[in-house]
Amino acid sequence: MRIAQKQAEVGKLDSSQPLKCSQFQSVFASQKKYSSDAEDKKKERKAKLAKYEIEVAKIRLQYCIVACRIFPVQIYDVNVESVTSNTKNTKNWAMVNDSDLQKGLRIAIRQSYINEKLRAKLAVQLSNGPISLPPDLHPPFAAFTNTLQLVHLLSVIFNFRPPESLSHHDLCIRDRWSKESLGRDWSTLCDAVLYLCVFVGMNPSKLKYVEPHQNLIALASFVVNEENNIQRIGVSK
């Protein structure tokens, strides 16, 4: 009985109409059209994305120029003897009542300045708090905070998040200072600048970890003077 039922089912299968080739052709044609439409949409979206990237790059460039104008960074070679002889070299710049702390390379940012010797003296004096700093250390402390603000602005412009952040607000609400705390803050600043430079596409071998201001000057030149560099920032490869 069961054998007869199975044979009847097999007979029904044998008697069913075979699929026509035209049915397969229509399916293949539909899939081909879908793939073609998808490829066209992909190209269209890619073209729109390229257009948007150019517009974003132009906006970033404008903001970057403004940020560098607000916090301009310059490096001077302070030579007291050259200044006293009324030289016309604008890179030789010194203050009244200059000393050995003022000589050598000096980084000026906005209306403040700092160098390695002044930063070391600042670290010692900060143990008593920034309010009690002597007048000659106000510019180095201002230069440090100005640099932090510049790095923060550039990070926002380029949509970059440093591995460890330190803001001007953090410094303002800090209760206790020490030589060690400034050392940690300086290392955090150096890290942030280094990572930011690599993020925008600069060659790591040309960067100097302990010289964040030189790296910032190189970064500004990298993104401002070459349009293609700023267009590639944040673009997935």
List strands edge to edge, sheet with 104-109.
73-78, 104-109, 112-114
User: Each residue of 191-226: pLDDT tens digit?
Assistant: 999 999 999 999 999 999 889 999 999 999 898 887
Could you give the CA distance from residue 200 to residue 64 in angstroms, rounded to a whole number?
Answer: 12
- Give the per-residue pLDDT at 35: 87
Q: pLDDT tens digits for 149-192? A: 999 999 999 999 988 877 777 777 777 888 888 889 999 999 99
Average pLDDT along the chain: 79
**Residue 154: what pLDDT?**
94
The whole-number pLDDT of residue 153 equals 93
Distance of alpha carbon 157 from alpha carbon 61, whole angstroms: 9
- Provide the strand spans (E) within 26-123: 73-78, 104-109, 112-114
122: pLDDT strictly greater than 80: yes
Q: Give the pLDDT of residue 32.
A: 82
Nearest to 112 by CA among 152, 143, 86: 143
Q: Kindly state the average pLDDT of the residues 107-129.
A: 85
Give residue 234's pLDDT. 61
pLDDT tops 50 at residue 12: yes
Give tens-digit pLDDT for 47-91. 888 888 888 888 988 999 999 899 999 888 766 444 444 444 433
Is residue 75 classed as helix, strand or coil in its secondary structure? strand
Q: What is the sign, positive or negative, of the torsion defined by CA atoms of 181, 147, 149, 139?
A: positive
Q: Which residue has the higher pLDDT, 19 or 224?
A: 224
What is this structure's pTM? 0.72
Neighbour-count burial of 198, counting CB atoms closer than 10 A to its CB (0-12 exposed, 13-18 middle, 19+ buried): middle
Supply the pLDDT for residue 237: 47
Q: Which residue has the tokens 């729109």?
A: 48
Is the pLDDT reported for residue 233 higher than 60?
Answer: yes
Of the candidates 167, 171, 229, 164, which has an alpha carbon nearest to the alpha carbon of residue 198?
229
Position 14 pLDDT exceeds 70: no
State residue 147's pLDDT score. 93
The HSE-up count of residue 18 (CA atoms within 13 Å, CB side) is 3
The sign of the CA dihedral 163, 155, 150, 214 is positive
User: Which of 25-29, 109-113, 205-209 shows the lowest mean pLDDT across its residues?
Assistant: 25-29
Amino acid 181: pLDDT: 87
pLDDT for residue 135 is more than 80: yes
